[in-house]
């Protein structure tokens, strides 16, 4: 179920390393503010809830959640809550994503079939 996160993280990492950035002047926060919010989320929600897997922590630090939600939800991207992403789907809360990912202990050679777990 959480294996879909591996694909999401890969997409997020690709966006991060390929120069993904805030492109809309309507964005309410700056890149620095998003980075600070992401770091705070990881410290308080991910690590604070007991996630210890360094790979998961590193992925959560690198994934720009705000780029996966509509601009009107960007201020909420790093809160511990699910956020609508359209078509009656949500991006899962950071705790759920990190906990489930740590629980399945994914490996680079794993093949994942994700069905019906949201986004």
Catalytic residue among 21, 24, 49, 92: 92
Q: Which of 40, 48, 55 is nearest to 10 (CA)?
A: 55
Residues 6+ apart with CB under 8 A from 117: 1, 2, 4
Residue 90's SS3 state is: strand
Q: Known catalytic residue: 92?
A: yes
Length of the chain in terms of residues written: 119
Question: How far is residue 93's CA from residue 22's CA, in Å, rounded to a whole number?
Answer: 21
Catalytic residues: 92
């Amino acid at each position: 179920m959480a294996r879909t996160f591996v694909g999401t993280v890969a997409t997020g990492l690709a966006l991060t390393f390929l120069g993904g950035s805030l492109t809309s002047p309507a964005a309410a926060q700056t890149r620095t503010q998003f980075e600070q919010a992401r770091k705070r989320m990881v410290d308080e929600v991910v690590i604070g809830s007991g996630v210890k897997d360094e790979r998961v922590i590193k992925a959560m630090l690198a994934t720009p959640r705000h780029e996966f939600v509509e601009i009107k939800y960007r201020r909420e991207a790093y809160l511990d809550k699910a956020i609508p992403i359209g078509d009656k789907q949500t991006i899962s809360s950071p705790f759920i994503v990190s906990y489930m990912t740590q629980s399945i202990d994914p490996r680079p050679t794993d093949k994942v079939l994700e069905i019906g777990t949201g986004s």
